[in-house]
Amino acid sequence: MSDQIIARVSQSLAKEQSLESLVRQLLEMLEMVTDMESTYLTKVDVEARLQHIMFARNSQKMYIPENFTVSWDYSLCKRAIDENCFFSDEVPDRWGDCIAARNLGITTFLSTPIHLPDGSFYGTLCAASSEKRQWSERAEQVLQLFAGLIAQYIQKEALVEQLREANAALIAQSYTDSLTGLPNRRAIFENLTTLFSLARHLNHKIMIAFIDLDNFKLINDRFGHNSGDLFLIQVGERLNTLQQNGEVIGRLGGDEF
């Protein structure tokens, strides 16, 4: 592998970028190494039996369309995987029954499956040409390397998204009363700060109502804490049904709303 390719890959990985940005750079480099007309990344929905072309680079007369979907069972990539044949410069002869390959005029095809670090099958990284191209060990090495890089990046993006969702859930939990599901004391006072600021800006007034349930302790003493909790939940639900736009209803704690 040339120093130029290694340097460009290193520069790409050093940048904070989206999956699309990274893949497009890798497809451009893959085209240079393989001398193919088109390079592209696909994602396979195994359950739906569909293959989606996510990103493609077309520099010559062959055109592989992005956002194009084909049947996975009749795709060129599945044939390559099933036959363990990831390069062919005789596609019309070897896989003449593949309608997509025939319509696109593919003669030479190079492909590798992409498996994520957890072992799950993601899709394929491919290069194709309407003319005969020779196989090279260098091209195959680069293809395998890029497939591995894409797999790691996809896994990283998935982990980052999981962390974002977990963080959002924790934040929501910290502002929510666990019993009634209403905003808690923290959420109420932070909302009040915002409302006061907005009211000053609009020259409006704010009305604050404080609700204290009389003799709530008697419910707990007579019927038990479970019944008391159920009572608080129902109070919260009824208050919530009365809420209008711009209003904040929450539980301060205990029997106070």
Fold of 3-155: Beta-Lactamase (3.30.450)
Question: pLDDT tens-digit profile of 87-96?
Answer: 989 989 899 8
User: Mean pLDDT across the chain, nearest whole number?
Assistant: 84
- pLDDT, average across residues 132-160: 84
Task: Tell me the CATH architecture of domain 173-241.
Answer: 2-Layer Sandwich (3.30)
Answer yes or no: is pLDDT of 165 > 90.
Answer: no
Residue 4 has a pLDDT of: 56
- pLDDT, average across residues 219-247: 82
Answer yes or no: is pLDDT of 2 > 60.
Answer: no
d(CA 70, CA 55): 14
Residue 84 has a pLDDT of: 93
CATH 3.30.70.270 domain extents, the chain: 173-241
Residue 140 has a pLDDT of: 87
The pTM of the whole model exceeds 0.75: no
Question: pLDDT tens-digit profile of 172-205?
Answer: 777 888 888 888 888 888 888 878 877 788 888 8
Annotated catalytic residues are 255
Confidence of residue 253 (pLDDT cuts 50, 70, 90): confident
241 token code pair: 């049904």
CATH 3.30.450.40 domain extents, the chain: 3-155
Higher pLDDT, 13 or 239: 239
